[in-house]
A and B are shown apart, each in its own frame.
Chain A
Amino acid sequence: MSEIGHWVWSTNLNGNNLSFNLDTIFTMWLAMAILIAVAFIATRKLEIIPSKFQAVCEGVMNFISDTMNSFLPEKGAKHVPLVASLFLFILTANLIGQIPLRVIHLKSGEFAAPTNDINVTAGLAIIVLVYYVGLGFIKKKGKFLLHEFSISGIIMMFVEILEMVTRPLSLAIRLFANILAGEILVTMMLGIFAYLLPLPIMLFELLVAFIQATVFMMLTMTYISSAEGEH
C-alpha cells in the first residue's frame, strides 16, 4: 500500500528535471470536469420559481455570499467568485476521495482525493496569498506593510512579512494533512477488519471534507477582509 507514493512521470526540459504526479492530475481534472458540468447544467433554464436542483445550488451560493458579507459588509460581493470557486473545488476534490476509484490499481499511487497531494493545496494557498497581498497593495498602497512610521510600526511590518509565509504554509498543510490522515486511517481500518469497521471512519471523512472546505474558505475570507478592511 503506497499512500504517499504517486504515479510520477518524469521528463527532461533543457536540462531541468520535471516530474508530474499523474494520478493527482487525473483526479484534479475529474473534479474540475464535474464542477464545470454541474455549473453548466445548473445555469440552464433558470426560472423565478426554482426547481429542486436550482434551489439547492442557490442555497449553496447564498451560504457562501452570506458568510463573505458577514466578514466584509457591503464590499464582500466582488470577492465571492474567487472564494466560491475555492470552496466548491476543494469540496468536490475532497469528496472524490470517498468514491471507491481506488479499486483501479495503478503501478504506484492510487486514485484518491487530489487534495492529498501537497502540490495541489500549495497551489491553492499561493493563489490566496497572491490575491490578498495584491488586494492589500492596491487598496492601501505602502500602508499595507508599514501602518505608521515608528518603531512599533516597523516591528509590525516584519510580523506582516512573516505572516505572508506562515499563512499559506498553514493553509496548505492543514488541508493536505487532514485528507491524507483520513485516507491512511481508512486504509488501516481496512487492514484490521475489512467489513463494516471502516464505515464510521468513512462517514466521519465525509464530515471532514465539508469542514475542511469551509475552514479554507473562512480563512481566505479572513485574510481578504484583513487586507481590505481597517486594522
Chain B
Amino acid sequence: MIEQTANLSLNMAHLSAGIAIGFGAIGAGLGIGLATKGLMDAVSRQPEVAGKAFGFFLLGAALSEACALYAFVIAFLLTGK
C-alpha cells in the first residue's frame, strides 16, 4: 500500500511536470509570435529600421522565452524528486 502510494505520487509528479512545461510553452509561443508580428509590421512600414527593430525583437523574444523557461525549471524540479 505504501509502495503503491509512493509510485502514484512519482507518476503524478512526472505528469504534472509535463503539464507545467506544456502550459508554459503556450504563453512563450504566443509571446514570440506577437513579437515577430510586431517586427514584420515595423519592417514592412519602414524598411530602413530593420536592423534596429531586429535588436529589440531579439530582446523581447528572449524575455518572453524566459517565461517558458520558468516552467521548465519547475518541471525539472518536479521530475528530479
Q: Quick check: A4 and B76 within 8 Å, CB to CB? A: yes
B70 at the interface (CB under 8 A from A): yes
Q: Which residues of A contact B63 (CB under 8 A)?
A: 174, 215
Q: Which residues of A contact B62 (CB under 8 A)?
A: 178, 211-212, 215
Q: Which residues of B contact A176 (CB under 8 A)?
A: 73
Interface membership of chain A positions 166-177, coded 1 if the CB is closer than 8 angstroms to chain B and 0 otherwise: 000010011011
20 further A-B pairs in the complex, CB-CB below 8 A; given A174-B66, A177-B70: A4-B76, A173-B66, A173-B69, A173-B73, A174-B63, A174-B69, A177-B66, A177-B69, A177-B72, A177-B73, A178-B65, A178-B69, A181-B69, A211-B59, A211-B62, A212-B62, A214-B59, A215-B59, A215-B63, A218-B59
Give Cα A181–Cα B58 distance, bound, in whole angstroms. 18
Give Cα A218–Cα B80 distance, bound, in whole angstroms. 33
Give chain A nearest CB distance to B68 CB in angstroms.
Answer: 9
Q: Which residues of B contact A4 (CB under 8 A)?
A: 76, 80
Interface residues of A in 216-231 (CB under 8 A from B): 218
What's the dominant secondary structure at chain B's contact region?
Answer: helix
Interface residues of B in 49-63 (CB under 8 A from A): 58-59, 62-63
Total interface residues on A, using CB and 8 Å?
Answer: 14
Q: Which residues of A contact B58 (CB under 8 A)?
A: 211, 214
Q: Quick check: A170 and B66 within 8 Å, CB to CB? A: yes
Residues of B within 8 A of A (CB): 58-59, 62-63, 65-66, 69-70, 72-73, 76, 80
Give chain B nearest CB distance to A214 CB in angstroms.
Answer: 7
Give Cα A218–Cα B58 distance, bound, in whole angstroms. 12
Q: Which residues of A contact B65 (CB under 8 A)?
A: 178
Give Cα A178–Cα B80 distance, bound, in whole angstroms. 18
Name the 10 nearest CB pairs between A and B, nearest first. Answer: A177-B69, A174-B66, A215-B62, A177-B73, A211-B62, A181-B72, A211-B58, A177-B72, A178-B69, A181-B69
Q: Which residues of B contact A218 (CB under 8 A)?
A: 59
Interface membership of chain A positions 152-182, coded 1 if the CB is closer than 8 angstroms to chain B and 0 otherwise: 0000000000000000001001101110110
Instruction: Give 8 A-B contacts (CB < 8 Å), ordered by A residue.
Output: A4-B76, A4-B80, A174-B66, A177-B70, A178-B69, A181-B69, A211-B58, A214-B59
Q: Which residues of B contact A180 (CB under 8 A)?
A: 76
Most buried by B among A174, A212, A214: A174
Give Cα A164–Cα B80 distance, bound, in whole angstroms. 29
Please name the residue on chain A nearest to B65 by beta carbon: A178
Give chain A nearest CB distance to B24 CB in angstroms.
Answer: 11
Give Cα A173–Cα B74 distance, bound, in whole angstroms. 11
Please name the residue on chain B nearest to A3 by beta carbon: B76
Give Cα A120–Cα B58 distance, bound, in whole angstroms. 24
Most buried by A among B59, B66, B72, B80: B66
